[in-house]
Amino acid sequence: MEKQYYIPPSCLDDIRSFAEKENLPEVIKIVSRHNNGELTLDPSEVATVVDIAMLWQLQAELKYPYWDANQPNYNPEHEKKYLDEQEERWGKIVMSFASDREFEASC
């Protein structure tokens, strides 16, 4: 069942740029359909978009492994950079689906 979502256009532009760079035609197709941030997606398309967000989260964790204050080697600079990426990239995408059951099922 398709559902309407809103993802900030800047996030969709970031996803499209990433998908073009990585040659991900299905992702390009999905995000190209947006109308000023509004997208109608089925559950598999939601999962595809969420997969990009999860990939970006994993990349941030690998780039800034000491971001968590509970880590023995905690580094406040890592935390700042990690949280900046969360705010600018994948966090907005995840929040677009946070209250959605399709999102929960895809994680």
Each residue of 41-75: pLDDT tens digit?
A: 999 999 999 999 999 999 999 999 999 999 899 99
* Helices vs. strands in the chain: H and E counts, helices first: 6, 2
Range with the poorest average pLDDT among 6-10, 23-27, 47-51, 91-95: 91-95
Domain residues for 35?
A: 3-106
pTM for this model (two decimals): 0.83
Count structural domains, the chain.
1
Confidence check: pLDDT of 29 > 90 = yes
